[in-house]
Amino acid sequence: MPDAESSSHDGTQHGTTAEIATSAPAVTRTGKRRARTRKRHTVAKVLLISTLVLAMVSGLSVAYIYRHLNGNLTVLDIDDQIVGDRPDKVKVAGPQEPLNILVMGSDTRDGEGNNIDGLTGDGERSDTTILLHLSADRTRAYGVSIPRDSMVDRAACKTADGEEIPAASYQMWNAAFSIAGPACTIQQFEHLTGIRLDHFVVVDFEGFRGMVDAIGGVEVCIPETIDDRAHGIYLEAGTRKIKGQEALNYVRERYAVSGGSDIGRMKRQQAFIASMAHAVVSAGTLTRPDRIVSFLEAATTSLTLDKDLDNLFKIAKLGYEFRGIGLDKIRFITIPNTVDPQDPNHLVWTPDADDVWNKLRNDQPLSKRLTADAISAANVPGSSADPLDPDDPRATAGTDPEATSESLQAAGLCA
C-alpha cells in the first residue's frame, strides 16, 4: 500500500500493496468439499462473467466493455532502462516455471484522489515493495515485504529519458523508485537477490481505495483505538469492515502504534491484503456483478503494468495460475532485518534474508523458522472471514503461534 508519511524510521519494518488482491481472486477457498467446489473461482472466470453480465444488463457488447477496460490500463516498457544483464531464471523441477511478480505502491500526489493528505512534491515515491512468488508446481505462494528504510547497495539504472544513474552503496531502498521509477527498483531488487522478475505492478492511492470500496470494504480487527489525529487518523477499536479514507488510514498509520515504527504498518498491510483476498473470492463479491465490474474498473484505471500484461486476457491468464492454490497456502512475511548499527532510524537485512532469497530463487519452500510470524490469507488475524478450522493442520503449519501472536500485537492487530 502506498504511504503518505515521511521516510523516517524507528528501526523496524514497513511494507505492502493492494494489487496482490487483483491476482488473489483465482485462489481456492477452504471449507466443506461441496462448498469448496462451488467457490473455486479464477480471475479468468471473474473477467468473463463480469463483462458478460454487464453487457446483458446494459445492452452493451462484451467487445466494447473489454476494449473499455483494456483502455484503462497503463503499460510501461522498461527494456530501454535496464543497465547490464539481468539474472537468468534458475531451472527448477516442476510442470511450469515459478513466477515472480514485484508489486510497488506509488504515493504520487498527481491524479484525482491521490493527494489525500495535502502534501506536495514532484515525482513519485514507493514506500511499499512486495515480491509475490508463485511456485512452479502452483501449490504455494509467498508475499515478501521489503522495508522501505532498508539500507542496500543500489545497482546502476536509467531514467525514462535515458539518463544513466550510477550505482551507489548504502542507499535507502525506496530511493531507487524516486530516482528512476519502477525500472530502477526492479534492477535494485534483481541485483540484490539474484531473482529474475517475470512481471511488475504499480498501484496508487486511488486505485487501492477504489478496489476496497468496490468489494464493499475489508474486514479488520483493531484491538485498541488508534488515535493519531495529528496526522488526521482516528480508528476505533473493534472488528468491522472499513473502506474509503478509513481503509487508507489503516494501512498508512505508523505513529500511534508500535512506537512509531514501520513493523506494525507492514503487518497491518499484510493482514489487509489477506482479508481483501477473502473478500474478493467470497460469494458476496462474485455474485454481485456491480461489485465485480467496479473492482475491475478501479483496478484497471489505477495500475501500471509491464508490457507482458498489456490486456485483460493476459492478466486473466496470470490469475488463472493461482487456481490450484488455496488461501491457506498464501503466506506473507517480511524480509528478515535488524536495526542499522550506523543509524537507529534505518534497517539492514540479516543473514536470514539471504536464506529467503536463495530459497525463492530455487523455488524451495521457506522453513518454519523463516515463516514463524507469517500471516496466512486463509486465517486473517482476529477476523471472522472464514478462518480455517483450528484442528486443521493447515491452519498453523509452518507458523509459531506465540511468535505470531506477539508480532500481531506489536502491529496493532488482534491476535
The confidence score (pLDDT) of residue 159 equals 95
DSSP for residue 19: T
Question: Which homologous superfamily is 20-215+262-402 in?
Answer: LCP protein (3.40.630.190)
The confidence score (pLDDT) of residue 412 equals 61
Q: Are 304 and 201 in contact (CB under 8 A)?
A: yes
> Between 257 and 19, whose confidence is greater?
257
Cα(232)–Cα(241) distance, rounded to whole angstroms? 19
- Band of pLDDT at residue 152, cut at 50, 70 and 90: very high
- Band of pLDDT at residue 21, cut at 50, 70 and 90: very low
- The pLDDT of 263-288, averaged and rounded, is 79
Tell me the pairing of strands 157-158 and 238-242.
Answer: unpaired
Dig out the grid coordinates for 109 from the structure.
500526489
> Between 209 and 26, whose confidence is greater?
209
Tell me the pairing of strands 74-76 and 303-306.
Answer: parallel
Indicate whether this model's pTM tops 0.95. Answer: no
Q: Which of 287, 319, 288, 366 is nearest to 28 (CA)?
A: 319
- Band of pLDDT at residue 408, cut at 50, 70 and 90: low
Q: Which of 387, 364, 385, 318 is nearest to 27 (CA)?
A: 318
Q: Are 106 and 185 in contact (CB under 8 A)?
A: no
DSSP for residue 28: B
First vs last Cα of the chain: how many Å apart? 22
Cα(180)–Cα(175) distance, rounded to whole angstroms? 9
Dig out the grid coordinates for 142 from the structure.
509467498
At 284, the amino acid letter reads G
* Ranges 205-209, 280-284, 383-387, 393-397, most confident: 205-209
At 233, the amino acid letter reads I
> Please, what sign has the CA dihedral across residues 382, 385, 391, 394?
negative
> Please, what sign has the CA dihedral across residues 393, 396, 397, 401?
negative
Cα(233)–Cα(245) distance, rounded to whole angstroms? 9
Burial 70-103 (b: 16+ CB within 10 A, else e): eebbeebebeebbbeeeeeeeeeeeeebbbbbbb
Show Cβ contacts of residue 399 under 8 Å, excluding neighbours closer than 6 positions. Answer: 368, 371, 372, 373, 374, 376
Tell me the pairing of strands 164-165 and 74-76.
Answer: unpaired
H or E element, residue 344? strand 343-349
Choice among 92-101, 259-268, 273-282, 287-296 with the minimum mean pLDDT: 259-268
Choice among 35-39, 61-65, 72-76, 405-409 with the minimum mean pLDDT: 35-39
The residue assigned the cell 505508523 is 254
The residue assigned the cell 513493523 is 263
Q: Please write the tens of the pLDDT for every residue from 154-205.
A: 999 999 999 999 999 999 999 999 999 999 999 999 999 999 999 999 988 7
H or E element, residue 240? strand 238-242
Cα(104)–Cα(114) distance, rounded to whole angstroms? 15
At 147, the amino acid letter reads P
Q: Which of 82, 111, 275 is nearest to 186 (CA)?
A: 82
Q: Please write the tens of the pLDDT for every residue from 232-255.
A: 888 888 888 999 889 988 888 877
> Between 50 and 158, whose confidence is greater?
158
Cα(307)–Cα(166) distance, rounded to whole angstroms? 25
Tell me the pairing of strands 157-158 and 151-154.
Answer: unpaired
Dig out the grid coordinates for 164 from the structure.
544513466
Q: Please write the tens of the pLDDT for every residue from 362-378.
A: 999 999 999 988 888 77
Q: Which of 56, 167, 176 is nearest to 104 (CA)?
A: 176
Radius of gyration from C-alpha coordinates of the chain:
20
At 269, the amino acid letter reads Q
Q: How far is CA 76 from CA 50, 64, 274, in A?
A: 26, 24, 27
Could you give the percent of the chain with pLDDT greater than 70? 71
Q: Please write the tens of the pLDDT for every residue from 77-87.
A: 999 999 999 99
Taken as a whole, the chain contains a residue count of 415
